[in-house]
Each structure stands twice: as C-alpha cells, then as structure tokens.
Amino acid sequence: MGIALIVHGGAGAIEDHAVAPHREGARRAAQIGWQILTHGGSALDAVEAAVIAMEDDPAFDAGVGSFLNCEGQVELDASLTDGRTLDAGAVAGVQRVRNPIVLARRVLESEHTFLIARGAEQFAQEKGIALIDNAELRTPEQIEIWKQCRANPPAPRSAQSIPIRGYGTVGCVAVDRAGNVAAGTSTGGMKFKRVGRVGDSPLIGAGVYADNALGGASATGWGEAITRVVLAKFAVDALANDRDPRAVARAAIEHLARRVGGTGGIILADARGRIGFAFNTPRMARASIVEGMGEVEADC
C-alpha cells in the first residue's frame, strides 16, 4: 500500500491553445495535493487542496472561469467523499462561493449530504465562508463565449447527439499514508446551460465516489450520460477482486459509451495506491503521482 494522487481537468475537445494551460494547471494541482500527502496529511485534505488550485485557475470550468449559464451567470457544483466513513458532502447551483469544494467539505462535516443554491450559500455564511459577487467568477473569455452562444444558441441535445466540446470540470482522487481514500469533483457545468441544470459532478456515485475497501473515482464529461450509469460507483465497485485500475477505467468508459452513448473520462485510485484513467473524448487533462515516482506526470 502506498500514497497516490491523480487529478483531471476535464475531458472534451480541448482546443490546441488551451492544452498547455490545462496540462500545467493539472500538474500544479497534483503537486499541491502531493505535498500534503508526503507530509502525512489526509487524503481529504489533499483532494480539497488540489481541487481548490484548479477552481482558482481560469483554465478550467470550475470556480473562476467557469462557463456561464444561458442568463450569463456562473452556477457552481461540487462534491467530496470520504472513503473511510462513506461520508459525503455536495453543493449545487451555488453562485456566490469562490471555492465550492470548500463548501462541500463543510457539508460533509455536517449532518447533511447535499445543499443547493440559496440554502447552500446561507450555510456557507454560517460556516464563515465569505460570499462574493458572481461577477468575480466571470472572466472576459467566458463572457465572450456566452455572447457567442446567445447570438447562436446551441442546438438542443438528445441521447443521440453526443456533446464533446465542453471541458474543464476538475477532480481528484487520493490515497493517504493511513490507507484512506478520498475523491472530489467541481464544475461550472455545461456551456450555456439552462438555469438550474445540474450534471453528474455533485451527485454521489455518478460524478464522484470513494470507499476505503476498494478505491475512489472522479468523472468528467457529458453529465447526463454519466449520471444515467452512475459511473463513479460503477467503476469503484469494479475494483473488487484486486482488478487493475487501468483496466477498470477503460471498462467504465466503454460501458458509458455502449450503454448510453456517453462521452467523458474517469480517474481512479485503488486502496493499494494504484491509479488508472480513461477517456473517449479527443483529450482529457490529467496529472498523477504515486509513491516511488520522482515527479508528477501530466498530459492533455
């Protein structure tokens, strides 16, 4: 058993000019989480810190720089799971919290599992998390994309139309020195999404899951399809009988495509500290490091 950490920065048709920012942003996040693990910190702390780093990076569709909804607002979703206790915390539709993963952590530590919108923001204030103006989350690049979408609205999607151009959801899975597994996911959601739309990212079992007995997973991609197959839980359960996380990740994405025509990616770490990932989109930003490696490996 060894410590391990893997992050993703979204799966989709990441454009050439965005490859380097995604790759380096994922690398920085992994390095931040790894420092916590190597100094004896918990998997939960490492996941939270790595996700915060990506929420603060405008390269990703999470936190600052998220896609705007059809009304020009940022709505954020996030989740965090503790494989030791199976405790989980999630938030959705949050508009005035800079780092929704921090709020998800506070929910995990409370009597609740999932809070949304205004109620989640009220809870944030009770826990000492400052609320910000939504404008602080909107970048000039995303405002321009929103204007383009408003001028030429995307065609409605169906189970037969597979969107791959969205990207940037972030996630992390970590295994600490005590063998505890944690996983987290954070997103601004689909580009020009309907107000109130929630994808897989804050849904426990769909976009995120962790269980010390098996491992942890974080998903990214077409949220409606990922939700239908409960992808993260499907993958973690498939780690049983000491299966290789690399093979499990591939099998999970094949299942996503075969069963519901879904596109996306997944990262995994098992209870032994082995990692795996797979995606069926043109690209997926990711970075990882396990005990014995000299430095973080990153790609996109």
What are φ and ψ of residue 221, in 5° steps?
135, -145
**3-class secondary-structure state, position 265:** strand
Tokens, residue 160: 């037969």
**3-class secondary-structure state, position 184:** strand
Q: What one-character-per-residue DSSP string does 268-293 give?
A: EEETTS-EEEEE-SSEEEEEEEETT-
Tokens, residue 161: 């139309």
Helices (H) and strands (E) in the chain, counts: 8, 12
**3-class secondary-structure state, position 119:** helix
Do the bridges between strand 88-94 and strand 114-116 make them parallel or antiparallel, or are there none, so unpaired?
Answer: parallel
Q: How far apart are CA 287 and CA 186, in angstroms?
A: 16
Tokens, residue 95: 């508009």
Q: How far apart are CA 137 and CA 55, in angstroms?
A: 10
Query: Is 220 a catalytic site residue?
Result: no
Q: How far apart are CA 212 and CA 114, in angstroms?
A: 21
Tell me which of 81, 169, 187, 227 is the catalytic residue: 169
Residue 264's closest CA among 232, 219, 298?
219
List residues with catalytic annotation. Answer: 169
